[in-house]
A and B are shown apart, each in its own frame.
Chain A
Amino acid sequence: MSRFARPLVLALALGVATPLALSLGEGAAQASTSIALTVQDLVDRSDAIVVAIPKSRVSRWESGKIVTYTTVSIDTSVSGAGKAGDTFVVRTLGGTVDKLGQQVAGEASLPLDVPLMLFLRPLPAGTAAPAGTRHVVGMAQGAFRVTVGKDKIARLEAHLDGLSLVPQAGVTEPAAHVALGGQALADATTTLRKAWAKRAAK
């Protein structure tokens, strides 16, 4: 059993993975409107593409907004920064502090113990977050859940978490959530490494 498969089986045993066959591939909750990113867009904007498992999180107020810092443990590095066993801290907007909740439409959801394919990028300078903190590229567009279906193949599941998408004018490539959603993890990894090489060659 691979490094990745073990925690995934555990996650399935805990009932936290959604069977692919039942997935709508769409999120609910609040909504925001974003321009749909292609796979190459996601890769070009990332400094790290990893399969990782969120292990803990803390939410706090920052300038009138609740933000959540999630520590993710890298299972597999697909491309870029980070290696298996490393941890990244990922900041997302929204969360719960005491009895106040804040939802920021379309932000990536990072449920604990659920394996995810993440497209990450360091937060821009000037942010109150600790150095090295990253964010998910394209909000919910840059986070895919990894689930194992009845065929025992790990696949990516897109969850837009309330994000409304507008196609890019003149772009014929499918949006990343369409192109990667449902793909076997192994195939997606190959696709992404090719896109990373293409980016490096630019």
Chain B
Amino acid sequence: MRRSSRRGAQNALTALAAAAITLALAGDAGAWCRTTTSKSFTPTLAKPCDDAGLPLYWSSRCVGYDVQQGASVQVDLATARATMAKAFAAWSSVDCPADAVTCAATDVGQGSPSIEAHDLGPVSCACAEYNQKGGNSNSIIFLDHGWFNCDGSPKTDADVTLALTTVTFNTDSGEIYDADMEINSLPTNAKITTTDPPAQVLYDLQSIVTHEAGHFLGLAHTQPTHPEATMFARYSQGETAMRVPSRDDACGICAAYPPKRVTVCDDQPRRGLTDVCGGDPPATGCHCEAPGAAGGGRGFGLAAIGALAALVTGVIARRRRRG
């Protein structure tokens, strides 16, 4: 073998080794994903997080929320408010890294994320809605007596849905305007518990709302490689681990709300806090789509490339998105 050829082969091997190390490190890196404005993103191994849409975020460093005043027969108002406060505090108190993408275990000490949630007091409105012209509230709603929409119609699949988060946002910017969390507390459907002894824990309220609070703040499910994360997609009865965000969760929230983000603290909901439901005149706007106009398959071109290239592309895309 000629010297130059040998050197070329060595370089190629070195490059391959470097690529392998990079991929290996990428596998250990943060697996968090952010929610985006995309309507129907589908994760794949090559593209686990959406990078086509704009990430959703709260523009202010302070977000107000309100617990529905009736709370639940299973959880009184004081306990519900205390639980929500713990859930949001768990997110705002994480220790941020310098590099949220690599998310090294030793990379800490950069401060807390620039987001905090404030309890603005109980509200009487017990349905999830967004008022386009009137005041709003980011409501935490318990449903003890059946699940109904704001117009009084019954919610579908109410007997198998434990919690539902609805987020309203600006499609041009990704800014979140409103978020509501509905919790099914009908005793015959879901036995919610707030106790600590694991043997007594059924559907641990703090675990569920800490997970939902992550979504409320704009995080999506983490990748399946991180089952220890609060933002992992599955919860099992009796578990309490989701109460505390993992390192991966911390990197996700810090990427969304960097400690040094310059922003104001305004915890008031959009157009001010309202205590009651409704307040908007009937809206007439609509948006229609027909074949050829939709973006349902956007981004799937990546699937045609080889697995290695796809993984590298995915890593690059994530870094760009997170930047």
Question: C-beta contact mask, A17-30 vs B, less than 8 Å → 1, else 0?
Answer: 11100111011111
CA of A146 to CA of B288, assembled, Å: 24
- Establish whether residues B154 and A139, one from each chain, have CB atoms under 8 Å apart when the complex forms: no
A37: B residues at CB distance < 8 A: 160
Residue in B44, B149, B172 whose beta carbon sits within 8 Å of that of A18 in the complex: B44
Take A24-B45, A93-B166, A164-B233 as given contacts and tell me if A58 and B224 are in contact as well, using a CB distance cutoff of 8 Å: no
A72 within 8 A of B: no
Chain B interface secondary structure, helix, strand, loop or mixed? loop
Take A33-B235, A34-B160, A109-B39 as given contacts and tell me if A65 and B129 are in contact as well, using a CB distance cutoff of 8 Å: yes
**B223 nearest CB across to chain A (Å):** 8
B313 within 8 A of A: no
Q: Number of A-B pairs whose CB atoms are under 8 Å?
A: 249
CA of A59 to CA of B268, assembled, Å: 28
- Establish whether residues A56 and B43, one from each chain, have CB atoms under 8 Å apart when the complex forms: no
- Establish whether residues A102 and B166, one from each chain, have CB atoms under 8 Å apart when the complex forms: yes
B66 within 8 A of A: no
B130 within 8 A of A: yes
B42 within 8 A of A: yes
Residue in A65, A135, A161 whose beta carbon sits within 8 Å of that of B166 in the complex: A65
CA of A28 to CA of B48, assembled, Å: 8
Residue in B33, B149, B203, B294 whose beta carbon sits within 8 Å of that of A65 in the complex: B149
- Establish whether residues A58 and B288, one from each chain, have CB atoms under 8 Å apart when the complex forms: yes
Of the four ranges (under 10, 10 to 19, 20 to 34, 35 or more), the interface on chain B belongs to 35 or more
B11 within 8 A of A: no
CA of A86 to CA of B242, assembled, Å: 45
- Establish whether residues A113 and B287, one from each chain, have CB atoms under 8 Å apart when the complex forms: no
Across the interface, name the chain A residue whose C-beta is closest to B152: A126
B128 within 8 A of A: yes
B264 within 8 A of A: no
**A117 nearest CB across to chain B (Å):** 15
Residue in A27, A113, A135 whose beta carbon sits within 8 Å of that of B221 in the complex: A27
B37: A residues at CB distance < 8 A: 101
**B241 nearest CB across to chain A (Å):** 14
- Establish whether residues B45 and A62, one from each chain, have CB atoms under 8 Å apart when the complex forms: no
User: 26 interchain pairs (CB within 8 A)?
Assistant: A14-B297, A23-B45, A24-B45, A29-B220, A33-B162, A35-B161, A60-B285, A64-B280, A100-B168, A101-B171, A102-B168, A103-B169, A104-B166, A105-B167, A110-B40, A111-B39, A111-B40, A111-B297, A112-B289, A112-B291, A112-B293, A128-B151, A137-B157, A145-B42, A165-B233, A166-B234
